[in-house]
Each structure stands twice: as structure tokens, then as C-alpha cells.
Amino acid sequence: MEPLLTAFGAVVEPWSLFYIALGVVLGVVVGAIPGLGAGMLIVLLLPITFYMDSVHALILLVSIYVGSVSGGLISATLLRMPGTPSAIMTTLDGYPMAMKGQAARALSLGIVSSFIGGLVSWIFLAVLSPPLASFALKFGPYEFFSLVVMALVLIASVSEGSMLKGLIGAVFGFAIALVGPDVSSSVIRLNFGFTDLNAGFRLLPALIGMFVVSQLIEDIVGNEQPVRQARARMFDMVLKGRDYARHGWNYLRSSLIGTWIGILPGVGSAVAAIVSYSTARNLSKTPEEFGSGSEEGIVAAETANNASVNGALVPLIALGIPGSVVDAILIGALIIHDLQPGPGLFTEQPKVAYGIIAAALIANVIMFFVMFTSSGLIARLCTVPKAFLLPSIFMFCIIGVYTSTNRMFDIWLMLAFGVIGFAVRRAGVPIGTFVLGFILAPIAESQLRNGLMLYDQSLLPMLTRPISVTFLVVALLMVCWPLARKRVGRSRTAR
Amino acid sequence: MHRSRTWLGDAALALAMLGVALLLFIGAADLPASKYEPMGPAGLPIIVAIALASLSAILLILALVRGRRTAPRVERKQRGHVKRHRMLGIAALTVGYIAVLDHELVGFPVATTAFLFGAGALMIDLTVRRVTVLVGVALVVGIGSSLILTRILTVTLPGS
Amino acid sequence: MRKTLNASTAAAVLVLALAGASPSTVHAQSAFPTKPVRVIVPWRSGGPGDTFARLVAKAIEDNKLLPQPVVIINKPGGGTTIGSRAVKDAKPDGYTLLFYHQTVITAKLMGTADYGIEAFQPVAETHNVCIIYGTSQKSGIKDARDFIAKSKAKPGSIKDATLLGSLSHFSAELFNTAAGIKVGYVNVGGGRKRFASVLGNHTQVMIMLPHHVYRPKSGMKGLVYLAPKRHPNLPNVPTAKELGYDVESCVNYWWLTAKGTPADRVATLAAAFKKATELPELRKTLTKRGVNVEFFTGPALKARMTASEKSLTAIAPKLK
């Protein structure tokens, strides 16, 4: 505790606060603009941070991350384009609410959710990092595999439409993820001789294509006229105490889900939002509202994705293992400054380790104020005529994708995914299942095959190891839950 | 929101997915086995191909059955936000923009400004006033972004 | 009128001719480089390899060892082959470099790429680091002899956290074949994940670099060092030679360019790298990160690359 308090003391000085605030503002801007993202900005700033003090550099970058995950909800709500992958689920309910003229409320729900998610997960980060990290070390390949199976079972409940199409979406996501290098054998798969495909379909071109470019196409081809919004005033956006009470359990549950998914290496904030959203839907009294403006949906998604940011810092600082793509870049920042992430960081460079933790909290608070004050302005920007807005967003998509891979081929892929995404969404395939499949399939496959290698081709440890079997049992329960629910409902109405 | 309620859309989706499954099968055929575990690189592609083919087949059957039972609803031609030939123009312009960047024919600022102006012009009915504003916006956004990216952030932009 | 025109035209032509023939222009025509030199790094930004490239590039720029800036471009993907292929197919004008290491050889051996070192023109090697086979302090494996004994008693029971097909995998197999033991390889993945696997005692051994062992609170212990002599910071870790196995495996950081690049341009670049490796500041920074700064170019470099290729090719059949 002591070092943490000293870290707070160190961070609450003008320069550090400046960097945190700067990071949050940049993060919100970059998160709000579809196509750009925290990953891109952090990568671009890495060489510049060479010249900065390490603590300042890292708190700047972490603040950008915090800001961007929140900023993504603005364009998700107002434009139906997620500014960052973490906001993909927010488009499902934020946009319908905005269409009904309730943009201010949707935004404020999102902002408060982000704040609470960040707070709750921060408590875990600050207090429980070392024990959580040692717990995470107990996860072997079959533990991860069972966990992913558990998440994939949620596919059944994520489907906003027919379950069949939900499954097809997920399996299609699997198929897309298979192209490229096979991690478990260094063989290049399914490139059909096109060496350009040797990298496979990477996360950013695929997601930006599927969700932003497809929406651009939809905006041009479709006929929806968004309701002309009255200015989203700060005043309209303050939530009443009643709202906090109504969504209380949702806030808590979604924070926990987000924190834990964040702690797991390699999963990320998009999955946190999807899992939280579908859990909320499963437990909701009004599941049919999800997808057409359910407040619970927004709360679940936005609480979880912000919670996952702090959750991901746990393995990052404690073990040096990235929780998501952006965390991998943050580790790069540590390496550039010759800091070794891992248990040694707490003893070798406590200023850095605790500084990052302290900054995460302050960034969360600053994010809250920045988002509240700037949402009105950004909302105004979204009413700019489409002729100016849409081509500019496309330009940002190109910039965002090119800066991450430095290949024009990925821009073509992004365009192709835009068309595919447009077609697939028009055909009624739920987007959440595709993202789940696309992100989780590689993890599931590599962990299963690793387990086979580790346990000499035996699948038995999946059922004998305690953590692994727990997840599988929960997965089984989740499969049975909708059926049980129906039966309970039937017996109730029968009475 | 834009859920296709016609069986035609579902059938098209099912056929497309069957095509993907077929590609997976073909692609997986040449993959070697692994000496470290039984699944190998071909394991999951085959499983996914089978799953996708089965699901698509079910969807296709359901779509055809449903389609035969109910008279096919002809979807009204929804008047788009933008007229048809203009949409094609925007598509062509987009492809051209990326191609120009890909072959490094002109720099990013020039290509982008041209794209921003052209795409915007195709989306609205033009008046002198609008054209001027559009040119202004295109210049500011196109050249502004390039400058911020190359001068401040030292990014290598496409087409450079 | 005409006379004046002629005179002024003649004067203009004369001035232009003089300008064209002036020493500065002659110099500009043969001075290379005249525009920024791009270094393709086939890893994502922020990885350890990327950091080395940026440190060296920065040293060259700060000390003006080349008249033009050195720009790092990350082209990750395809197991580093996206980046390497981009340089292989680039114009051989000396303006595109590749920062790489033995993966240029292992990628071809594993079939990930259909080309190897023969597709490139080597420029220089700036630094290297040798490989250590290690375990966690809590794994119960006491030292190299214990490791070998346990593996011989139950072949395949000791698990190695590795990335199949990578230089780490090759290095491990080089030692294990020489020692005559069978180790169970588990494809845990990239560096950090392997540390977690070993620290969590899911796997027992892994290939790592010396500074992973001697940095404070690493939790790791070295078993055998695959280098010519013992590491100064790890006096208790024997080399493979001392144990009776003639195995050496190091990561050599090479700067390559497209085949067919004119020799004088290659020489200019190599000279800049040589001067960089002599800078005390850069030497200190790189050494602090655990690598040996040693410069090679020309035939000496070719010999090193060929030797590496020979030993890796010999062991490759055991890995596929």
C-alpha cells in the first residue's frame, strides 16, 4: 500500500497530470474517430517517447488507452461505427437509442458505465495484482481452452436474431481467422498461393472493414435518416440516482466480467464487451429489447470494456504478458525504456509500476470529465453533412490500417471486408458472434494443441484439472440455462 | 434492423457460406500433419469446414422450405440516400483512390484531397456555394491530416 | 536584338554548363544516399528486435554517420516473412534494408518462406547474443547433468516451452540431439508466454537469453550456455562444450538488402554501421540490454552466415 501512496504523491504533480490529461484527451479523440485507435497512436508515439522520462512516457500511453476505450462509444452511438473494437457492442443499443432521439441519455449511460467499470477494476489492479498474477500463472493450456469454450457458448445467447445465423457468424469468424500462419506449426495455411495472404486477415483491417467501412456503405446505400438530434447538452446528460440504482447489479457484474476477461492474456476489451453484453441479455427480464435500444446493453458493454483495460494491466505489469493487442504495444514501450515487465518491475522500478497504477485511476477520473464536456461538441461534429463526414472517415480508416501494417494490401482487404460485412449484416448475421469467433478461434486452437503436446496427446487433464473442469461445468450450465428458463416460465404461466 | 426477411437473402448467405466451406476443404487438403500432436494444421480447418457446411445446408433447406410455403416477398426498391449511378461513381472513385496510393502515382495529400472532393461531390446536389465549401473541406482535411501525420508523428503514409 | 539574345542565351548556357560541371553537382550525382534509407523491421513495433533497430538507426542519425535519415518501417506478419519478402522484392538501389537474424534461414527450412539468405545481399552484422537453455528456479531440475539424466530416464517427460519452427526450437534441438535426449516440445508461443508457462510449472525448460536469467528477480536458472565461453554475469552456467557437446547457437543481428545492390552502396552502408558500433554511447546502451556489440561485414560476415546455415540445416529434418 505504501509504495502506491507514494506513487500517487509522485503522480499528482503538474507534469504528470499534464501527461495524463493529454493522454486522455488524445485517447478520446482517437477513440471517437472511427478508423483510428489507441494502438495506432501509441505505436506512432513510441519513437517520440524515447526522449521522455519513462514514467511520463508510460502514463501518457496508458492514459491514451483509457481514453480511447471510452471515446469509442461516441461514434458507436451517434454513427453506428465503433471508434474502437471495444465499442462494437455499443453500436447495437446506443445507435437505436440515438435514433429515437435519446442520444444524450445513451451517451451519459455509456460514460458513467465506463467510469464505474474503470473504478471497480482499478481496485483489483491496485490491491490484488500480485495474487491475481500468481493465479493467472496457474492457467495452463487446457484452462485457457475451457475458458474460451465457455465464452464461445455465449454465442448462443449473443445472437440478436436467429441462433442458426449466430452460429454461422461465429463459424465464419473461425474460418476467416484460419487464413495465415498456423501458430502451432509455422505452416502458412489457406493462402492459395497468394504470398500477400501470408499474414492472414489481421484484426484491424478485418474489424475496421466489417464495422466501419460496412457502415459507410450502409450509409450511402441505405435509406435511414437519423433523427435530427437536439444538441446533446451536458444538462440533459446527468443521470439521476434512480438510474444508478436500476442498473446497480449490472454495473457490478459487468465490471467483474470485464476485469477478469482483461486479466486473461490475449483476449481483449472487445471480447469483454461481448461476454458482458450476452450475460446481461441472458439474465435480463426484457431480453427482446437488446439490439433495439436496451439501456442494460449499453451499460453491460461499456462497463466491461473499461474494466478490461485495468484488468489487462494486471498481467502486463505483474507478469509482462499482454492482455490485448494494445497491451502488447505497451510492453514494447517498457522495453524501449529498458524496463523489464514482470515481478521484477515492482522491486526494480517501483516508480514505474506504481506510477502506472496510480495514473490509471487518475486517467479514469479525467476521462469522466473530458467525456462529459466533449460529448456535446463531438455530437455536434457528427451532424456534419454526410458528404463531408463519410469520405473523411474512410480516409481515417486508411490511415489507421496503414499505420499498423504498412501495407496497401491490408487496405484492399479492409475494403473487401467492408463489402462482406455489409452483405453479411444485411443477411441478418449477428456481428457479435463473428467477432467472438474471429478473436477466440485462434486462442482455442492453439491452446488445445498445446495441451495435447503438454499432456502427451491426452485430453483427460481437461476434466481432471480443477480450474479447467470448473469452466466446462459453467459452460454446460450456460447451455442449459435458456432451456431451464423456458421451463420455469412455462410452469409459472401454467399456474 | 436490416434483417432480410426474404428467403432469397438467407439462401444467398447459405450458398456463400457453402462456398467458404468448400474453400476450406480445398485449402486444408495440402496441409502436412504435425509430428507433435494429432490435430495438425489441417485439424481445425476441416472441423470448421464441416460445421460451416452443415449449418449452411440447414439454412439453405429452411430458406427454400420457407420460400416455397410463402409467396416470395418482393422487396420494395428502397430509395437510397444517394442515387444509383452516383453510388457506382463513389465505388469507382474509392477503388481508384486506393489503387493510386498502391501504385504510388501521386502523394497521399493530393490523392486524398481529390478523393474527399470527388466522393463528397457525388453525394450531394452541387451548387457553386457547396462546391467551394467542399473544396475547402477537402483541402483542409486532406492536407491537414497529411501534415499532422508526417511532420508531427513521422508516419510513412501510403503513396510516399 | 538578335545579337543581344544570342549573347544572353550564350551566357545562360555557359552559366548552366558551369553549374552542371561544378564540384557540388558532380558530388551530388555520386553521393549515396540522397534520400532517406528505409529499414524494414519484420516485427511489430515495440518488440525486442524492433528496439535494437531503432537504437542503431537513432545512433546513425544523431551522429550523422549517413547524410540522410534512417527510417524504421514495421512490416510484421507471416512469421516475419511479410517484411523479409518486401525487401527481397525491393529495388536493389540500397535504399531498403532488412533488419533480421537467423530466422531468414529457419523460415526457409521450415517452409514458411521459399527463399533464404541467398535471396539477399548481406550488409553487416552489428551485434549478437548467445542462447541459454534454462529452467525456473523452482522446477526441481538442478543443473544440466540433472536435466540430461532426467530426460534419459523418462524420454519426453521434461517439457520445453517453445515456438515450433523458431530459432529457439532449432537451438534446443541442436543441444538435445547432441546430448542424445528427447524433450517434449510444447508450442507455448512468443517470449513472454513461455516465461509464464515455465514459472507456472506447466513446462520445465525453455530457450532464453542470458539477461533473462541474470536480471533481478527473474525466477530463472541457466542450465547450459550455447556459446564459446562462459557468460561473465553467469559464472556458474557451463557451456555446452564444457559438458562435452560441440553446440553453439547465437542470435546474430544482420542488416540485409536486396540482391544486386551495387557494391559501393553496400560498402557505404556497411561503413556507417561499423562507425555506429564504435560509438561508446551505443555500445553502452546495447550492452546494457544484454547483447555483444561485434561488427562483421564482407567475407567474414558471409562465413558466419554460411556456418549458421550449415548447422541449422543439419538439424532441420528432426524438427519437421
Examine the pLDDT at C6 and tell me if it is beyond 80. Answer: no
The C-alpha cell that represents C74 in the structure block: 514495421
Closest CA to C54 of C67, C70, C34: C70
Q: Name the residue facing A338 among C50, C72, C288 (closest C-beta).
A: C288
Amino acid C93 reads D
The secondary structure of residue B76, as a DSSP letter, is P
- Mean pLDDT of all residues in chain B? 84
Give a three-class secondary structure readout of C83-152: HHHHHHCCCCCCCEEEEECCHHHHHHHHCCCCCCHHHEEEEEEEEEEEEEEEEECCCCCCCHHHHHHHHH
Closest CA to C109 of C266, C313, C285: C313
CA–CA distance, B3 with A425 (Å, rounded to integer): 8
Examine the pLDDT at C240 and tell me if it is beyond 60. Answer: yes
CA–CA distance, A149 with C147 (Å, rounded to integer): 36
State the count of interchain CB pairs (< 8 A) between A and B: 179
The C-alpha cell that represents B14 in the structure block: 447459405
CA atoms A310, A430, A395, A391: torsion sign: negative
CA–CA distance, A250 with B145 (Å, rounded to integer): 40
Rounded (5°) CA angle A249-A250-A255: 105
Distance from CA of B57 to the nearest CA of C (A): 33
CA–CA distance, A35 with A414 (Å, rounded to integer): 11
The C-alpha cell that represents C101 in the structure block: 537474424
CA–CA distance, A206 with C173 (Å, rounded to integer): 37
The C-alpha cell that represents B23 in the structure block: 474453400
CA–CA distance, B16 with A420 (Å, rounded to integer): 11
According to DSSP H, which parts of A264-349 are helical?
269-283, 295-319, 325-336, 343-348
Q: Name the residue facing C185 among B32, B36, B154 (closest C-beta).
A: B36
CA A91 remoteness from chain centre:
13
- Contact between residue C56 and residue C126 where contact means Cβ atoms under 8 Å apart: yes
| Residue B78: per-residue pLDDT | 52
What is the H or E stretch that residue C205 is in? Answer: strand C205-208
Residue C311: other Cβ atoms inside 10 A: 18
Residues of C in contact with B35 (CB under 8 A): 320
Place of cell 514458411: C112
Report the residue of chain A nearest C290, measured CA to CA.
A338
At C275-320, the pLDDT tens digits run 999 999 999 999 988 899 999 999 999 999 999 999 999 999 998 8
Q: What ipTM was estimated for this complex?
A: 0.89
Residue B30: other Cβ atoms inside 10 A: 11
Q: pLDDT tens string for chain A (495 positions)? A: 677 777 787 778 888 999 999 999 999 999 999 999 898 898 888 888 878 888 899 999 999 999 999 999 999 998 999 989 999 999 999 999 988 888 888 998 999 999 999 999 999 998 888 788 778 788 899 999 998 888 888 766 656 567 888 899 999 999 999 999 998 888 899 999 899 999 999 999 999 999 999 999 998 887 666 555 544 555 556 666 677 778 889 999 999 999 988 888 778 888 899 989 988 988 888 888 888 889 999 999 999 999 999 999 988 888 788 878 788 888 888 888 888 777 777 777 788 888 899 999 999 999 999 998 887 787 777 778 888 889 999 999 999 999 888 999 999 999 999 999 999 988 888 888 898 899 999 999 999 999 999 999 999 999 999 999 999 998 888 777 766 766 776 666 655
Angle of helix A38-49 relative to helix A54-79, nearest 10 degrees?
160
Are residues A186 and C219, on separate chains, in Cβ contact within 8 Å?
Answer: no
The C-alpha cell that represents A211 in the structure block: 464495422
CB burial string B4-25: b at 16+ within 10 A, e below: bebbbbbbbbbebbbebbebbb
- Contact between residue C226 and residue C238 where contact means Cβ atoms under 8 Å apart: no
Question: Which residues on adjacent β-strands are paired with residue C222?
Answer: C134
CA distances from A165 to A155, B52, B58 (A): 10, 11, 10
Residues of A in contact with B6 (CB under 8 A): none
- Rg, chain C, Cα only: 25
Are residues B36 and C320, on separate chains, in Cβ contact within 8 Å?
Answer: no
Examine the pLDDT at B156 and tell me if it is beyond 80. Answer: no
Distance from CA of B148 to the nearest CA of C (A): 18
SS3 C207: strand
CA–CA distance, A275 with A148 (Å, rounded to integer): 11
First to last CA, chain B: 41
CA distances from A17 to A13, A63, A363, C11, C99 (A): 6, 10, 9, 65, 38
Amino acid A261 reads I
Residue C218: other Cβ atoms inside 10 A: 21
| Residue B73: per-residue pLDDT | 53
State phi, psi for C154 to the nearest 5 degrees.
Answer: -130, 90
- Rg, chain B, Cα only: 24
Examine the pLDDT at C250 and tell me if it is beyond 90. Answer: yes
Examine the pLDDT at C24 and tell me if it is beyond 50. Answer: no
Helix, strand, coil % in chain C, rounded to nearest 5: 45, 20, 35
The C-alpha cell that represents A416 in the structure block: 473487401
Query: Given pLDDT bands bounded at 50, 70 and 90, which one contains residue B5?
Result: low
The C-alpha cell that represents A428 in the structure block: 441478418
| Residue A241: per-residue pLDDT | 67
CA–CA distance, C155 with C178 (Å, rounded to integer): 15
Whether chain A has a CB inside 8 Å of the CB on B132: the answer is no
- Contact between residue A223 and residue B79 where contact means Cβ atoms under 8 Å apart: yes
Whether chain A has a CB inside 8 Å of the CB on B23: the answer is yes
- Contact between residue A297 and residue A328 where contact means Cβ atoms under 8 Å apart: no
Are residues B36 and C71, on separate chains, in Cβ contact within 8 Å?
Answer: no
Closest CA to A216 of A380, A387, A102: A387
What is the H or E stretch that residue A416 is in? Answer: helix A408-426
Q: Name the residue facing B52 among A172, A411, A452 (closest C-beta).
A: A172
Place of cell 544523431: C62
Closest CA to C254 of C66, C78, C52, C61: C52
SS3 A356: helix
Distance from CA of C231 to the nearest CA of B (A): 33
Question: Which residues on adjacent β-strands are paired with residue C258?
Answer: C120
Residues of A in contact with B90 (CB under 8 A): 220
Question: For the residues C127-155, what does the mean pLDDT come to?
Answer: 94
The C-alpha cell that represents A164 in the structure block: 442458426
Residues of A in contact with B3 (CB under 8 A): 161, 428
Question: By CB neighbour count within 10 A (0-12 exposed, 13-18 middle, 19+ buried), where does C22 fall?
Answer: exposed
CA–CA distance, A290 with A302 (Å, rounded to integer): 14
Answer yes or no: pTM beyond 0.95: no
At B34-60, the pLDDT tens digits run 888 999 999 999 999 999 999 999 999
Closest CA to A174 of C44, B43, B37: B43
- Rg, chain A, Cα only: 22
Examine the pLDDT at C154 and tell me if it is beyond 90. Answer: yes
Place of cell 501512496: A5
Place of cell 542450465: C223
CA–CA distance, C105 with A402 (Å, rounded to integer): 28
Closest CA to A204 of A316, A82, A291: A82
Chains meeting C at 3+ CB pairs closer than 8 A?
Answer: A, B
| Residue C64: per-residue pLDDT | 92
Query: If contacts are CB pairs under 8 Å, which of residues 21-80 in chain B contact chain C?
Result: 32, 35-36
Residues of A in contact with C289 (CB under 8 A): 338
Whether chain A has a CB inside 8 Å of the CB on B6: the answer is no
Chains meeting B at 3+ CB pairs closer than 8 A?
Answer: A, C
Distance from CA of B159 to the nearest CA of C (A): 14
At C43-74, the pLDDT tens digits run 988 777 888 999 999 999 999 999 999 999 99
Q: How many residues are present in chain C?
A: 320
| Residue A457: per-residue pLDDT | 92
Residues of C in contact with B154 (CB under 8 A): 71
Residues of C in contact with A199 (CB under 8 A): 76-78, 82
